Each structure stands twice: as C-alpha cells, then as structure tokens.
Structure 1
Amino acid sequence: MHQQQEQFQPTPLDVIIIGAGLSGIGMARALTRRCPDKRYLILERRHAIGGTWDLFRYPGIRSDSDMYTLGYADKPWTGRKAIADGPDIKRYIEEAAEESGAVHNIRYGHRVLSASWDSEQALWTVRVQITDGTGQREEQLQARFIASCSGYYSYDEGYRPGFPDEASFAGQIIHPQAWPEGLDCRGKRVVVIGSGATAVTLVPALAREGAHVTMLQRSPSYVFARPQVDRLAQGMQKWLPLPLAYHLTRWKNVLLGSFFYRRARSRPEEASRYLLQLAQRQLGPDVDMRHFTPDYKPWDQRVCAVPDGDLFHMLRARQLEVVTDTIERFTPAGIQLSSGAELEADIIVTATGLKLTALGEVRLEVDGQPVNTGECLTYKGMMLSDVPNLIQVFGYTNASWTLKADLTCNYLARLLRYMDRRGLRVAVARRTPDVQEQPFIDFTSGYVQRAADILPKQGDQPAWRVHQSYLKDKLMIQYGELDDGVLRFQ
C-alpha cells in the first residue's frame, strides 16, 4: 500500500475511507490493528490531514470537548491542556496517522463525487475527482466497503444568512470557516454575530489580540466555565502508567458527562438554575444576566464550554461586551439594531453556524437507484437502511465525537472479521414497515432544523435508535450480536 498517489489500484480494495480527519484516521487505525490483511485507501479532498482541525483557522480555534474523550481510546493524550487548541489536535491526529502507517494510504486531492453499488459484483464503484499539480481529472476505484468519515458539515461554505443592506457596509464581512490568513484585528472594532461554540471561542481570542469586540446575539446560549487543565488527570499521570491514567481519566469524564446530561434532561429546571448560578458567580453583579439566560431547556441545544471562564472574566473586566438584540439592517458604519441602537464596526464576523450535509455530499446509488439519505433510517447510528456495505461515522452531540467514532470504527473491523469467517460478502440493514420514523438529532438548534430533510432518520425500535449515550452504545455496538435479525447477510 505504498504506491504513488497517481497510480490506479488494479484490484478492488476492501475498504475506501472518505476523509482524513479524526474519524478517518481512527478508522484506518482500527483496520490496521484488527484487520491487518485488509487493503484500504483514505480519500481526502483537501491536501492535509486533520479535517476540521486543519480547515478552521480562526483565532482561538479549540475543542469543545476534553481531549481525554476526544482522543482515541488507544492513544493517550499527553498534552497539558484538557481543552486543546486546534493546532495541537491536528498534530495529535498526524502522530496517530504516522504511528499506524495510515499516512502512507492517504490520497490527497481526491474528492469522492459518487458511489454506486452493484449487487451482482457485491462492490462499490467510487467516482473520484483528483486535483493535483497537473490539473483535474476523474478516476474510478472499487471497494467492498465504504467508510464515510467526512463529518457532518459542508467544507465548501458555512451557513451564511443574508442581512438587509449588507452590501452597504464599508468594512469586511468574514465567516469563521473562511478566515483570512494574516488578518490583523488590533485596534479594530469587531462585531461577532452569534452565541454558539464558535462565537464564545472567537470573542475572547480577538480581545486578547487587541480588538474591540462585541458579541451580538439574537438569543443567549447556556455557557459554563471549565478548567483548561484537568488537575486530577495530571496527578494520575505522575503516579500511574500513562495508558492506565488516560483510561481512568477517560472513564471519569465519560461518567460525569453522562450523569450531568441525564440529570439535565430529567430535571431541566434544576439544571437551568444550576448553570445560571455558575454563570452569575463568574460574571459578578455588574453584568446583566439576561445575556446568559436562554429561553430553552439545557441540551435542547448544545451547552458551550468556556476554558477557565475567559469569556466571563473579560466581560467582568469590560474588555468586551455582549449585546442581545436583532439585526434590522447593515449600515456603512456597522449594524442597525431593532432597538434603534447602532453598533459601529470595522469587521463583522458571521459566526452563524454550519451548513450540514449527509455523507459529505457524495451521491449514492444502489443497483442504479438513487439513494435519498433523508428517506433512510440509520441502523445503530452507523449504517443506512437498505444500503449495503456502507458505514457512516457520526459522533455524539452531547459528548465527545470520538467516543462514538471509536465504537463505529471497531464495529466495522469486527463486522469484516465476522463476514470473512462465514464467507459472507454483503451486510445490509433491512427496514421493515412497522418501524416508525423519528428525527435523527433531537435538537432545536437552527443548523439541525435546516438539515432535517437531508439527514437520515432514527426509528422507534432498539436497532434503529440513536441513543446519544456512550454506555448504551458500547453495550449494543461492541458486545451486541452482529446477526441480530435486522442486519442481513448474503
């Protein structure tokens, strides 16, 4: 598997992995460790490893999950920061790719356009657009399985609503997903539109760079302070072997996160009061709590973490400000608000969210029939109903992405070994008429609601449920029967 990138693979591969980010490298590691006889390639549309952690370059880019759960189960995180910066996460992924040899099986500049399944051959034919120094061309590859590890949002563009009269604004309008290299914000008036994870990361980082920053939000989010360094984890690393210390910290964070999530969903009023009390304690008496009091229940939308409470501390020190209002229109000098106030700005940052996609916008066909992902059910959150030999990695919305990704990657390796032992070529989750559809993600967030028609659905029966629970999934995916009557083999 050390062929030059431009060489065509003469025989069908066992697995084509789409994407060389956290999930794609994790899939390669699982196959290398558990199925060393399998031939795979990673097709990466960009020209670097890292996925999200290479794409996003805005100031302060970091994880919203701790690295003891965002890291791979078999590769301890050795950095000091539990809430790590984007460049550190990218280096971690690169190390993982080097250690496993996955780096030799990546084909950069390979964008998967479509994939067509042929039942007679029991093979996928994948059409790939290759971009390199010679220009663009298309090739086809064949594989037994596809592992879609391309994430859940468009790499081409973020969600960018239009605003009245925005063409009149005399300054720069920037989306965080397309941050200009070398942008100097020192001394500039910057308005960041948004209140989600990107905004609460970006606003303190810009203030530290010397910008005069205002976070403009239509409605507040739940925001809580989280230590950037896990003191207990650091202590265990001093006295215990690193793999054991990492394993114990990982489970500590999994169990604590699971406890707080279940408590918030079962007692939302109590959880809301607790989060607001924490925020009030960080903000002090001089900051108006209406800017941090949402009108929804905790975990109806994602709760935002603030490392060491930097956003709160800067607000208390008046190094930045938060405004809760709606936008009436843009003006040459900034933004006119519905309240009548005007925010002056040199730069406006539209931290307005992601544009969700399904399967990285790869067009699927099964025996010549197009597959509409929005009409499919998702089997155990990993496979699409009636689509053979395809695994999709989709992490948790209430916990670290990698927890579910690890389970999914190891599941594929387990499935391949099971099929080999029995001489099976096809695995497909068959939907029956009695399964009732439910939304894939139970979130009220705008980016989820906008994608409701393209995301697959979950069902009301156990095999079709998306649990958002690592403990339940670990039992079902890692230890459950493969031949469960829903997954059919040929």
Structure 2
Amino acid sequence: MTTTTEPATVQEPRSSGPQHVDVLIVGAGVSGIGAAHHLQEQFPDRSFVILDAQDNRGGTWWTHRYPGVRSDSDLFTYGYRFKPWRGPSIAAGEEILNYLDEVIEEDDLGQHIRYHHRVTAASWSTEDRRWTVEVTRGDTDEQLQFTTDFLWMCQGYYNHDKPYQPQWEGLDRFQGLVVHPQQWPQDLDLSGKRVVVIGSGSTAATLIPAIAQEAAHVTMLQRSPSYFLAPPLTHELAVTLRQLDIPEDWTHEILRRAYAAQFNELARMSLEAPDELHTFLMESLKPLLPEDFDIEKHFTPRYRPWQQRIAIVPEGDLFAALREGKASIVTDTIDTFTETGIRVGSGEELEADVVVSATGFNLSAFGDVTFTVDGEPVEFPERVTWRGIMISGIPNMAYVFGYFRHSWTLRADLVSDLVCRLFETMEAKGATMVVPTLRPEDADMQIRPWSDPENFNAGYVMRSQHVLFKQGDREPWTHMAEHAEEMELLPKADLDDGTLVYR
C-alpha cells in the first residue's frame, strides 16, 4: 500500500485532450461517495475523479423529491460504517443529503466531483492498459474524454431519466394530471384534490401519508398487496444509549449491529420459516388498521415474505391515514382511464383530479454505458458476475451493487474493502491488469439468470432480466448472498484462486 499522506488533486478537464486519472468513479451517490472515501483513505496518492450525470450529489436522493421521501432502511446500516449517523433511524431525503454533504466536506471530495458529466461509452485497450471513457458534459453536449487505469462503476441500478410508466387503456382521455414520483413537479398543489396513487410498494407507502392531510382524499390502487413492517421512527436502544451519553461512534456501531442482526433474522425466516414470518407480519399490522379492515384482501401478498422488498412504514403512518379516513385502499386491476378517473375491474370508478403512477423504475445495466474491450462490443447478458463485484472477461472494472433485503450501504462498504484489497494485490504482483476469467473446471458450470425468481422477483427485476449479466452455480460466479454470509465471505475471499488473471 502507498504511504503518501497528501491527497492527489485533479484538475478541471480541458477540451484539448483526454484527462488521465488512476481511478475513475462513475456516480456521486451513496456508492460513489463511499468508494471515494475508501480509495482516498487507503491510497491517498492515487488520482481520481467522480463523474455524475446529475447536477448535484446524492443519486436517488437528489432525483426523488416527492413529498415525504425518506429511507426505507434504517440509517445506522444505510449510513456508512466509517461515518456515525446521529439522527432518527428512518430519515427524510434531505437529512440523507446533509449526511452525504458532511462526508464530501470532511473528505474534501468536492474537488474531485464533476457534475453534468454523463458517461456514454467506455473502451478498454489491453495494449495501453487503460480505459478511454467518452463523456457528454452539461447542456452544451460538449464531448470530453477521460482515460483511467481502473473503472469503478457506482451509478446505481436504475434509469433516473425514464421511470417505468405502464400504458393503460384510455390514459389519453383522462382530463386530470398524471405524475410519476421520480419526476415530481415541485409546484404541484394537492390541496383539496382527489388523488389516486397507483402502486403498493415503498414509494406509495411513503407518499400517501405525506399528502393525505393536504388532499381531499387519497386512494391507494394496487393490483396486488405488499408486505409492510411498521417499526418506530427511532430505535428504543438509540434513545437509551443517547440518554447515557454514549459516544456517537459507539452508538452507531451498536445500532448498526442490532439492525443488521434483526434483518438477518428476517432474511433467515423468509427462507426457512416463511409461514411463520407471514403470520408475524400480518399480526403486527392488525392493531394499526381500522376495525373490520379486510387484511386478507388488501395486505396479503401472493408471494412469500421477502421475495420482494418489505416496505417500511415508520410509526405506521400509512395506517394512521387509513384509520383517520384520509386514505383508502382499492385492490383491483385497471380496466381503463376515463375522463374523470379510473374504472377498475369490478366496475367501480375512482374519481381523481391527480393520478400518481408509483409504478417503479426501469433497471439499467451500468448506466446504459456502451462497453467495448479491445474493439469488441461487450454483451453483458453473455457474461457472468464475479462475486457481484466484477464481470467475466472485463479487465480493471468493478461495480457496486447493494442488497435488496438489507441496506444498500452495508454491501457498498464490503465491496470497497475488497476492491482496495484487489489494488493491494495488483501492486504486490506488479500487475497492471486483472481480468475475471472462467477456469477449465468451470466449463460445465450451469448459467443462471441475474435473479432467481424463487429468491427475488420484484417487477423491475423480472422486466429487466434479459439485459443483465448472469451468474453461475458456484463461487465466485454467484451474487445476491445475504449480508450475514457476505460479511464473512468477502473479507476472506481468495484473490489468487485462479479466477482472477493478473498481467
């Protein structure tokens, strides 16, 4: 490992030629900021830039600005391992942005971030041992080039510009307003409006209580129910520890372990005792719902617990809106939009002034960047993952993909640890190139889809399987392990087992 103490500086790119950096990080959200912290801490003499297509930091927390936007994971595990979280367990989007701002300021990362820089293509040359990255800057469409020894993709996993929007029958007849949470108009006034929110996931559960007090009425229209969990806004243990004036970094680590253990147990139960977990989730909701509420119809999913993400409803605020009559739930299919609302399969018409399409997003493979290796286009569906961190046959490239069932950042920290260990290994070997490569003994390996539907089958995953890379039937060509397994597996992963070829 290098010993230089002064961080490397990166000059603003000029149009006259490509700018070279040791490491190029794509994405200035939670993953990219975390990767930059670990890189700078362990390799302070390596130059790097962070490129982001958006006009500010934060990724999803900058894109999503709908009312009530908040985390659907606790912030003690969603926050970084290295940066104590001092607020409530569930936090608003603005609070998370403030937290990221503190990391950027404390690590002086602002000088390395280039906003309005959209990566469009990345080409690897084995002869030159580097990537050439094509970038479009700002609204001017100025074309720039960066070159880098190592490409670290931290752009997240969905398309920020094009949310998933089903084309319903009669949509063009509707005289009201249709909005998607990912593209929320900041001047939208819902006072006295009848609102129908289509969807049953975390976004709908977050949005409805936030607008229910303002709107005349909010109807949650769902084709099928989701599982919900209604934890307190702040863990009682956090309250106790702060009353005892325990240092914040101790409190952070204790709560981080407590929440991780809780969700590890839920993940275990979802696989080993799904009926028991289903009963627990249903029973926990009953006291929060209106009397005589049809929990079987409106809150009993068609899938086992955690085949899709469990939506977090802190303090049960969604259910409070139902009890107060400010919101209601209709479980049915959409027959057609009408001039004044939506007619569902039963024939009932839901009157609406505003329809919110909380229908999810479109998954994106590496930001839809075009990749080539030595002049040959990379077809990701023909390749397999290496531990959910690298891709077979693609040199000097790593990516961050978090957990579905646990907080994203728990895995982002683990991935950064392994990538930095990979840098150490390359340095020790005098290698300038590392390529995940299938071994002869992997020739008979069964190729499996990116996500096994029996494991995780959310709509946005199933819609996008065809554009995503695959996994194998054995390590290290698998991914989507649970956190309890990976926290033991990744720190000990053998980087010299023959699946990584160094040159």
Deviation at 1:209, TM superposition (A): 2.8
Deviation at 1:227, TM superposition (A): 0.9
Q: Distance in 2 between matches of 1:218 and 1:302?
A: 16
Mean Cα deviation higher: 314-323 or 171-180: 314-323
2:496 to 475, 478, 483: 483
CA contact (8 A) 1:287 1:315 kept: no
2:91 to 84, 89, 97: 84
1:129 partner amino acid:
T
CA deviations 1:79-114 (Å, max 9, x no partner) are 1x2111011111111111111111110011110000
Indicate the residue corresponding to 2:481 in structure 1.
Answer: 468
1:294-443 to 2 correspondence within 5 Å?
Answer: 294-431=301-438, 432-441=442-451, 442-443=455-456
Q: Distance in 2 between matches of 1:9 and 1:420?
A: 28
Q: Structure 1: 5+ residue runs without aligned partners?
A: none
Q: 1:287 and 2:293 equivalent?
A: yes
Indicate the residue corresponding to 1:111 in structure 2.
Answer: 118
Mean Cα deviation higher: 212-221 or 415-424: 415-424
CA contact (8 A) 1:160 1:350 kept: yes
Q: Distance in 2 between matches of 1:36 and 1:355?
A: 36
Q: 1:251 and 2:257 equivalent?
A: yes
Percent sequence identity is 43
Across the aligned residues of Structure 1 and Structure 2, the Cα RMSD in angstroms comes to: 1.4
CA deviations 1:214-237 (Å, max 9, x no partner) are 000001111121111112023223
CA contact (8 A) 2:10 2:49 kept: no
Q: 1:18 and 2:18 equivalent?
A: no
1:209 to 193, 209, 214: 214
Q: Distance in 1 between matches of 2:270 and 2:11?
A: 51
Indicate the residue corresponding to 1:52 in structure 2.
Answer: 60
CA contact (8 A) 1:35 1:417 kept: no
Deviation at 1:260, TM superposition (A): 1.3
SS in 2 for 1:456: coil
Q: 1:40 and 2:48 equivalent?
A: yes
1:199 to 197, 200, 204: 204
Mean Cα deviation higher: 469-478 or 5-14: 5-14
Q: Distance in 1 between matches of 2:487 and 2:239?
A: 27
Q: Distance in 2 between matches of 1:106 and 1:483?
A: 33
CA contact (8 A) 1:286 1:316 kept: no
2:468 to 446, 455, 458: 455
TM normalised by structure 1 equals 0.97
Q: Which runs of 4 or more aligned residues in structure 1 lie more than 6 Å from their structure 2 counterparts after TM superposition?
A: 7-10
* Paired positions, count: 487
CA contact (8 A) 2:396 2:433 kept: yes
CA contact (8 A) 1:379 1:465 kept: yes
2:370 partner amino acid:
R
CA contact (8 A) 1:467 1:473 kept: no
CA deviations 1:297-325 (Å, max 9, x no partner) are 10111111101001112212211100001
SS in 1 for 2:110: helix
Deviation at 1:467, TM superposition (A): 3.9
SS in 2 for 1:309: helix
SS in 2 for 1:138: strand
Deviation at 1:475, TM superposition (A): 2.2
1:93 to 73, 93, 100: 100
TM normalised by structure 2 equals 0.94
Q: Distance in 2 between matches of 1:46 and 1:260?
A: 35
Q: 1:234 and 2:239 equivalent?
A: yes
Q: Structure 2: 5+ residue runs without aligned partners?
A: 1-8
Q: 1:272 and 2:278 equivalent?
A: yes
Mean Cα deviation higher: 336-345 or 280-289: 280-289
Indicate the residue corresponding to 2:4 in structure 1.
Answer: none
Q: Distance in 1 between matches of 2:108 and 2:94?
A: 21
Q: Distance in 2 between matches of 1:478 and 1:116?
A: 30
Q: Distance in 1 between matches of 2:263 and 2:76?
A: 12
Q: Distance in 2 between matches of 1:434 and 1:281?
A: 53
Indicate the residue corresponding to 2:5 in structure 1.
Answer: none
